[in-house]
């Protein structure tokens, strides 16, 4: 845990402001910037008490004034926020074939560049952790950041994840007895760790920085190598009873379809995911389809990524366009079900497949028009994410720092007893 944070705010058991300082820092992080009146409301404290806390945190170098809020009559209120680089977090984004790492601060500034390296997600922990540890040591050394400066690490990955138990039931399955996946990461990193599903990372990014910000009922559809759903209802990210909500990709969708890796046949992921797109492209090229993808070597074709197919479509390749259209049609049928189940105000399309834009959105909209009730679909906007390829890191930062600050608050409360 960030030693500077703890030493500053829990220096003595007799410091009666310690818990409130932690809480105020957590609220400022989640609000980005806030006025005294808004802090009074969320903390249920008086103006003099909030001002006293803010003054103390300003003197300790944690908080600064940053601009003015909206006036509702009279002068505009001062806004307060956390200073840059007061809290640093290590974020790890594990994809199917690549892994990204970066250090990000409490104001979502990249403290380091995002490092991407070839490290596919694995069923085995041992080999993965060996390579990850080597990459991380070099990364931290080049960044000149001591791991003691980090509040913790937030790890995101695909799979069926129970964040509370710290387990992934799809990957890293060769469990050491009585050792959760979270504990295994903590042993390697020598840091407190939280793990989460990549879909929740995308959803939190949209909720804090993207199109879902300020909205109450939004669905975030992650169309990557797999298909996942983030559910924001009543202004909160809903994870379900065990954190397993949103497994849209593993709903059987095609009668007598191909076998999905989850063990069922005909799941949506078998016809509308990055994996499905790549498999269909390979099968078509090997069977003699006329396409510029024929120029790929056998090795390139074996590891073909959605971006290559999208690039071909942008150059007018009809086979690539048809592949993307098929994905869009299947996805549109799935979205029709979601619209009628959740009645969202917005659906955000994110991930590698979403970058195909009109090649999937046009057939997607046609399918929605066919399968969804008119009165409901007209109330829903569908838009592609604008956050970019590293957006999940923002989501991992948001949820990670929030959870670690909550742990600081609990520790402060224990010390007060």
Look at 49-58, 292-301, 388-397 and tell me which has the smallest mean pLDDT. Answer: 292-301
The CA-atom distances, in angstroms, between 169 and each of 161, 197, 275 are 6, 11, 19
Q: Is residue 397 part of a domain?
A: yes
Note whether 357 and 225 are same-domain residues. Answer: yes
Domain range for 115: 88-201+392-413
Q: Is residue 207 part of a domain?
A: no
Note whether 360 and 286 are same-domain residues. Answer: yes
Give residue 73's pLDDT. 67
Tell me the pLDDT band of 5, cut-offs 50, 70 and 90.
low
Portion of the chain with pLDDT greater than 70, in percent: 94
Mean of per-residue pLDDT scores for the chain: 89
CATH at 22? 1.10.10.10
Give residue 261's pLDDT. 84
Note whether 229 and 369 are same-domain residues. Answer: yes
Number of compact structural domains in the chain: 3
- Kindly give the residue spans of alpha helices, DSSP state H, lying in 210-317: 269-272, 274-286, 298-302, 306-314
Helix, strand, coil share of the chain (percent; to 5): 45, 20, 35
CATH at 328? 3.30.420.40
Nearest to 195 by CA among 226, 158, 174, 166: 166
Determine the average pLDDT of the residues in 76-99: 93
* DSSP-derived 3-state class of residue 46: coil
Q: Is residue 206 part of a domain?
A: no
Note whether 340 and 407 are same-domain residues. Answer: no
Strand extents, DSSP E, 234-380 = 236-238, 346-350
Note whether 93 and 36 are same-domain residues. Answer: no
Q: Is residue 349 part of a domain?
A: yes
Q: Is residue 317 part of a domain?
A: yes
Token digits of residue 238: 């809903």
Q: Which helix (H) or strand (E) holds 185?
A: helix 181-189
Half-sphere exposure of 58 (CA within 13 A, CB side): 12
Look at 131-140, 232-241, 291-300, 367-376 and tell me which has the smallest mean pLDDT. Answer: 291-300
Where does a domain end: 66, 83, 100? 83
Note whether 31 and 60 are same-domain residues. Answer: yes
Which residues face 392 on adjacent strands?
A: none
């Amino acid at each position: 845990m960030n030693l500077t944070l703890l030493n500053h705010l829990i220096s003595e058991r007799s410091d009666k402001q310690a818990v409130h300082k932690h809480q105020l820092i957590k609220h400022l992080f989640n609000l980005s910037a806030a006025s005294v009146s808004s802090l009074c409301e969320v903390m249920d404290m008086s103006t003099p008490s909030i001002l006293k806390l803010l003054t103390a945190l300003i003197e300790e170098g944690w908080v600064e004034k940053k601009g003015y809020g909206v006036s509702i009559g009279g002068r505009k209120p001062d806004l307060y926020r956390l200073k840059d680089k007061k809290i640093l977090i290590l974020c790890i984004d594990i994809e199917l074939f690549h892994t990204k790492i970066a250090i990000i601060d409490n104001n979502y500034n990249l403290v380091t560049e995002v490092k991407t390296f070839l490290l596919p997600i694995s069923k085995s922990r041992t080999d993965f952790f060996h390579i990850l540890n080597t990459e991380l040591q070099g990364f931290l050394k080049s960044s000149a950041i001591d791991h003691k400066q980090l509040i913790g690490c937030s790890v995101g990955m695909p799979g069926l994840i129970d964040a509370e138990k710290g387990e992934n039931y799809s990957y890293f399955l060769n469990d050491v007895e009585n050792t959760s996946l979270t504990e295994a990461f903590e042993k390697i990193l020598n840091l407190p760790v939280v793990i989460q599903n990549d879909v929740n990372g995308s959803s939190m990014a949209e909720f804090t920085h993207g199109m879902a910000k300020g909205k109450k009922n939004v669905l975030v559809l992650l169309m990557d190598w797999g298909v996942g759903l983030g559910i924001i209802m009543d202004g909160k990210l809903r994870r379900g009873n065990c954190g397993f909500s949103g497994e849209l990709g593993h709903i059987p969708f095609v009668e007598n379809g191909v076998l999905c890796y989850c063990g069922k046949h005909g799941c949506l992921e078998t016809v509308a995911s990055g994996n499905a797109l790549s498999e269909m492209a390979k099968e078509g090229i090997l069977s003699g389809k006329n396409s510029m993808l024929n120029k790929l070597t056998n090795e390139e074709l074996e590891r073909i990524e959605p971006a290559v197919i999208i690039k071909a479509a942008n150059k007018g390749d009809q086979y690539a366009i048809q592949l993307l259209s098929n994905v869009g049609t299947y996805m549109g049928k799935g979205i029709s079900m979601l619209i009628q189940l959740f009645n969202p105000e917005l659906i955000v399309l994110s991930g590698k497949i979403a970058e195909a834009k009109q090649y999937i959105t046009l057939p997607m909209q046609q399918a929605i028009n066919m399968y969804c009730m008119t009165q409901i679909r007209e109330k829903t906007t569908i838009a592609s994410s604008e956050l970019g390829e590293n957006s999940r890191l923002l989501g991992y930062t948001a949820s990670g720092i929030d959870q670690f600050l909550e742990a600081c608050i609990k520790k402060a409360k224990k010390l007060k007893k």
